[in-house]
């Protein structure tokens, strides 16, 4: 594609096109288990799985939920469901019983795929607790009292579990679907059909199911890859979760649209990342800032060869400038890009380019993607603001979601009458269209009437020797409403204290911006996709700093 055009292809057609052009090239690689499939081999797995799903009775428009880590079958499911018109529902691997129950109920899911578990959660036991009928009713004819839409549960592995279909059984059903039936199902599909549903993190209110179409995420994936100059010669190391847009759109779809190899990690581990990059000579690496920091700070960093790296994406949360400089200088990622967006926008609305100068690639999140408009509005009035003024970031274009599943009022609140999606993030556009994110509207600290933006203080504190990572939040205060609180992870071998932090700030930033409270921690609470959960830090601050409420 050229001239900033958009492609009217389903995800299945995108895969078929890539297979025709690059069928002999690597598609999926897992270094930790010596697993490797070419695009041609991967497509065969996808087609068998798709036919198996059809034979099981999965219909167009049905939801197929996948609750699993980044295993190979996850990627196959992404395309198998797309090829038969089903909607892939991505489930956060950190979910517990109540969260899974809410998702299954709210989404009307018909089919659920699971693995055995993740971290301290036993997925099999959780599912049996929620769906006891699995153990007593005939497989394929189950009727769940709690989840009336749910028809079938499948296990993403070889083992058999009571009431569940195993992967060998599903693949063995493939011959029951003829080539003609399979082709006829694909012919029914439209690029504007919903193909993916992802639930927002739900830090405010109940999680909402974001409905994304082939047209939304197929085109977004294409342009994300174009902006990294991807080709069939590139090899992407992907350690971010597939259930999040970062994994399944910025990662998988940017790669598949360009014939790029995907070197996937089942879960993030800094040593596995370094080993994968070196062994597979990866040219691109993805991650949130906390992941890059973990790699850069690892004691084995100097033992690995990063010279093959060229590009990649850092996204998910604001990138500290010193970290970006180290990634460019020490990891050879001279063409690394930063993406910004939200799930409701498929997700990327802006991206830096390899040709952008270092300042723009460290201090902004780039310019609007092709065929996407971005503007800044006054959060109170909705009026468009001129360059240089801070306000809410909004976008409009092909990438805006179809809506929230069964939540018309929430959809109407997010997308205005003119089609603009309101992000809830604060930012500033410069004269050349480069966007700088200054924080979330709800993250803004208001201390005695003064507006304080945590991002500004975080960037300043990153310049202090001894600080590895920092997050700034508002601490409730009876006197001022809120005070500034800083949660700091020290660099190994340093012993900086609260007084050192305040001394570093004095005379450098306004007094009301200097952290009143400082806590040193070993880690931050993170979502499964690596985003820092600032609301949890705010909750912790109530117990950590009781003096705040006493004044």
pLDDT in tens, 375-411: 999 988 999 999 999 999 999 999 999 999 999 999 9
> 11-22+34-199 and 444-550: same fold?
no
Any alpha helices (H) in 227-338, and if so which ranges?
245, 254-256, 270-280, 289-296, 321-330
Instruction: Give domain limits for the chain.
Output: 11-22+34-199, 444-550
pLDDT, tens digit, for every residue of 203-214? 445 789 999 999
pTM of the model: 0.87
How much of the chain exceeds pLDDT 90, in percent?
A: 79
Bond into 441 cis (ω within 30): no
Average pLDDT score over residue span 41-60: 98
Q: How many Å apart are CA 172 and CA 160, to the nearest integer? A: 14
| pLDDT greater than 80 at residue 4 | no
Q: Which CATH superfamily is domain 11-22+34-199 in?
A: ANL, N-terminal domain (3.40.50.12780)
Q: How many Å apart are CA 394 and CA 397, to the nearest integer? A: 11
**Least confidently predicted of 25-39, 46-60, 530-544:** 530-544
Q: What pLDDT score was predicted for residue 2? A: 45
Quote the mean pLDDT of the chain: 93
| pLDDT greater than 60 at residue 190 | yes
Q: What pLDDT score was predicted for residue 201? A: 59
**Greatest CA separation found in the chain?**
75
Q: Which CATH superfamily is domain 444-550 in?
A: ANL, C-terminal domain (3.30.300.30)
Which tokens belong to 62? 């049905």
Average pLDDT score over residue span 527-548: 84
């Amino acid at each position: 594609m050229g001239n900033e055009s958009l492609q009217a292809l389903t995800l299945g057609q995108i895969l078929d096109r890539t297979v025709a052009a690059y069928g002999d090239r690597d598609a999926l690689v897992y270094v930790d288990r010596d697993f490797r499939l070419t695009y041609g081999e991967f497509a065969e797995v996808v087609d068998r799985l798709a036919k198996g799903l059809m034979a099981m009775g999965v219909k167009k428009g049905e939801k197929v939920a996948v609750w699993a880590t980044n295993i190979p079958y996850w990627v196959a499911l992404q395309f198998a469901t797309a090829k038969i018109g089903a909607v892939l529902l991505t489930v956060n691997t950190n979910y517990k019983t109540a969260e899974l129950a809410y998702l299954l109920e709210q989404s009307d899911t018909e089919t659920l795929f699971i693995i055995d578990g993740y971290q301290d959660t036993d997925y099999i036991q959780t599912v049996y607790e929620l769906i006891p009928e699995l153990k007593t009713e005939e497989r394929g004819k189950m009727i769940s009292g709690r989840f009336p839409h749910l028809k079938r549960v499948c296990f993403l592995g070889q083992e058999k579990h009571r009431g569940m279909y195993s992967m060998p059984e599903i693949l063995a059903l493939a011959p029951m679907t003829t080539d003609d039936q399979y082709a006829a199902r694909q012919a029914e599909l439209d690029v504007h059909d919903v193909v993916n549903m992802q639930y927002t993190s739900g830090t405010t209110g109940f999680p909402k199911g974001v409905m994304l179409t082939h047209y939304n995420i197929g085109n977004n994936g294409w342009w994300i890859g174009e902006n990294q100059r991807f080709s069939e010669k590139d090899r992407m190391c992907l350690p971010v979760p597939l259930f999040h847009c970062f994994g399944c759109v910025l990662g998988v779809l940017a790669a598949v649209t360009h014939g790029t190899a995907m070197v996937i990690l089942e879960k993030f581990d800094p040593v596995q990342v370094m080993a994968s990059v070196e062994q597979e000579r990866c040219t691109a690496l993805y991650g949130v800032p906390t992941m890059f920091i973990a790699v850069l700070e690892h004691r084995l960093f100097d033992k690995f060869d990063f010279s093959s790296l060229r590009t990649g994406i850092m996204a998910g949360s604001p990138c500290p400038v010193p970290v970006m400089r180290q990634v460019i200088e020490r990891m050879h990622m001279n063409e690394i890009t930063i993406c910004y967006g939200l799930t409701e926008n498929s997700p990327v609305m802006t991206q830096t380019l390899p040709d952008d100068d270092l300042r723009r690639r460290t201090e902004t999140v780039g310019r609007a993607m092709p065929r996407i408009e971005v503007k800044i509005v006054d959060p109170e009035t909705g009026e468009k603001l001129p360059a240089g003024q801070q306000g809410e970031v909004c976008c409009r274009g092909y990438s805006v979601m179809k809506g929230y599943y069964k939540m018309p009022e929430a959809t109407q609140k997010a997308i205005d009458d003119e089609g603009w999606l309101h992000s809830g993030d604060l930012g500033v556009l410069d004269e050349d269209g480069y966007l700088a994110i200054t924080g979330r509207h709800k993250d803004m600290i208001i201390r005695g009437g003064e507006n304080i933006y945590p991002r500004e203080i975080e960037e300043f504190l990153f310049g202090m020797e001894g600080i590895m990572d920092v997050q700034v939040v508002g601490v409730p205060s009876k006197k001022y409403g809120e005070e500034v609180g800083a949660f700091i992870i020290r660099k190994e071998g340093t012993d900086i204290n609260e007084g050192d932090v305040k001394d570093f700030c004095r005379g450098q930033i306004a007094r009301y911006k200097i952290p009143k409270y400082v806590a040193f921690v070993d880690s931050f609470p993170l979502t499964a996709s690596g985003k820092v959960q600032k609301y949890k830090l705010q909750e912790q601050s109530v117990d950590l700093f009781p003096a705040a409420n006493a004044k």
